[in-house]
Structure 1
């Protein structure tokens, strides 16, 4: 048995000659436990929002998207893209041309993102799940081009699901010189009509400015004949996404990037990760402050146990072993606080998941979810545990060595 650890464990639970030492030791453990609990709960809430946002990608974003590394477009008949389309794991692909344009509807105008897609888009994205109005997705009929707009864009332009008239689309010309005498000649102009529906992804970046139109319409408007902005891909059920993605990237080489859904939303998830990291740093500082209580507790314990130290020396204990006793004492408080804090934090997370104790708003249905989402990730719990242990170990190391030299030796 480890002699210093055995004595430290006895000191942790034994009654001290000064009752205040027991109280301060208890406060130290509670402080570490509360800080640990706050870390578990806070990081789990960030995970909950992360996982919640990820659930919004299933109806609109492709499983994989191939985009050019340089420039906004690439030839649609590129051999690498053709080879990717023929991979056995690929179920359906859809070419896309995407760029910004000006939309005008009955005197109202706004900048939009026009997304030209081919007829496979419905199979690739299952957009019919997020349509309101006519739930049959359609891009064209005869020589008529349909434009399916996001629900917030429809509100901006004063539309309903079955809007009448034409939505005029203006895009700057990319070929030729601008005639200053006739500025309107610097734009390619075309129009879209309503398919009888709008879409709602429940994400502002899509709902507020996206218009889905036929790819032939977009290529003509943006003067990108034979080009594409991205190749969108859905895999067959049971396919190993990471393995297929790696294979596609090897085929694409350094001319194309193969993006999964998280990488397509890289900005959103990067912001969430930064916020989570900042919260972790702030709460770790609180944990450090809470650990100062351990320093006070150990310092008083060293003074209280002067007579015991003399006895231990007479029994043959070395100065190093005596120092280790008080180091173990501080570390046991940190471990105790870490374990209790993690258990309480996990309990609170479970209660939030089951009963939604903390609501997001006063009225039900105001937000996508009524209560704060919570998701516990084992790797976060492990990081929290080791953080608490490390902070506790560092906090007691110098004070114990200092007081041991000054007061005991």
Structure 2
């Protein structure tokens, strides 16, 4: 009884591996498997490369962005003595908490000028982030020494202003007055002006957003410049090792309610990572269309097989097989071709990804040091592998359903 129920699968398996009377059917079947395998392999490799770039960009932001950031949902700043923020700082999982004041200003240095973002931070900012790992120059990271206030700027901003890593003159920072009326007879009075010196280093995040615009300065300097005494733009937090980020984030959001938004690193750079995800999904869709085209080989192979086995179909009917069981034989044939192609393609894709990770065969360019990494970064996410396998199986199965039913219906009707 069990054999009778499963005989479509057994016959389909014999048809797949046995030699056909017309050799071209064997060739088309092999080409069908290869086509599905190549399309599957391409899906694995391309999605893994997108994952590699995603993870690479995430490491850049890790050096500068805090693990968790709390920002006010209304307005640009909030009181630094807010009891809700005090509760967040007191959580047992919080290791380092830094207040930050951030706003735009105009920087002048020896005839050069640029719009900048001044980010005022507490003295423990180097404990919050990996800023010391991305510094260049002959100095050391420092925000002040006695009454002197230092500014650490991005490497591209230093190039724009012509300062170099260490500048000997004062860097003038201008910001609009927050209060009072503009006096046309005294334009300079409409600005707050302050100065920074150089600690002899610049930072390089390898992201234009930071390297081209940001200056890290003492928070007291930023509060005075922007008229934000007793206020903060964000509370930046690093958790203790071993903390559950998602659980702590939910706990913080429950404490602050709708007054503040609690963001992890990916949410802080939401636009960047969202664009990368969209690009990845577009690549997935285009490659799926290529997979659909590859599956047309399966349709051709099955159509010729149906014609080749028309005498077998008559024999099976005489043995008591109904039309549904005969249809399932050729359905299983197409599905097995898809499954073999999927397994082979995923295996080859994973192998090539591993080889790229280990040896970096495919480089980004011929000039050493021109890129942040020398070879295309690859990162295999196994949820992507599962998605690819399900996609190949679904496309393969759907592509053979209608043609097989139509071909068999026509053949059976004409007998």
- Pick from 363, 385, 395 the counterpart of residue 359 of structure 1: 363
* Aligned mate of 2:59, from 55, 59, 63: 55
C-alpha distance in 1, partners of 2:345/2:203?
Answer: 45
1:79 aligns to what?
83
Any idea what SS the aligned residue of 2:247 has?
A: helix
**Structure 1 segment 223-242 matched on structure 2, within 5 A:** 223-242=227-246
Aligned partner of 1:15 among 16, 19, 24: 19
| 1:164–1:193 Cα contact (<8 Å) kept | yes
2:316 is matched with 312
Match of 1:154 in 2: 158
Q: CA deviation at 1:135?
A: 4.8
Q: Does the 8 Å contact 1:75/1:228 carry over to 2?
A: yes
Which of 251, 256, 261 lines up with 1:252 in the alignment?
A: 256
Given the alignment of the two structures, is residue 45 of structure 1 paired with residue 49 of structure 2, yes or no? yes
| Contact 2:139-2:199 at 8 Å conserved across structures | no
Q: Shift of residue 123 of structure 1?
A: 1.9
Partner of 2:105: 101
Aligned counterpart, 1:269 = 273
Listed one character per residue, the Cα deviations across residues 226-276 of structure 1 (whole Å, up to 9, x for unaligned) are 110100111112222111111111111111111111111111111110110
Residue 373 of structure 2: SS of its match in structure 1?
coil
TM alignment of 1:386-405, pairs within 5 A: 386-405=390-409
CA distance in 2, matches of 1:45, 1:74: 41
The residue aligned with 1:129 is 133
Is 1:113 matched with 2:117? Answer: yes
Give the C-alpha shift of residue 221 in structure 1.
1.0
Tell me the TM-score normalised to structure 2 length: 0.96
The question of 1:384 aligning with 2:394 is answered: no
Stretches of structure 1 lacking an aligned partner (at least 5 in a row):
none
Contact 2:39 2:291 in 1 (8 A): yes
> What does residue 288 of structure 1 align with?
292
Q: Hey, what's the Cα distance between the residues in 2 that align with 1:118 and 1:67?
A: 16
SS in structure 2 at match of 1:380: helix
Contact 1:306 1:408 survives alignment (8 Å) = no
How many residues matched?
A: 409
Can you list the C-alpha shifts for 1:61-92, whole angstroms capped at 9, x where unaligned?
A: 11111111112111111111011111111111
Structure 2 portions without partners, runs of 5+: none
Superposition RMSD in Å: 1.2
The superposition leaves residues 11-42 of structure 1 with CA deviations (integer Å, 9 ceiling, x where unpaired) of 11111111111111111111111000000000
Cα distance in 2, alignment partners of residues 62 and 389 from structure 1: 42
Change in 2 beyond 3 A, CA 1:321/1:344: same
Runs (4+) of structure 1 exceeding 3 A deviation are: none
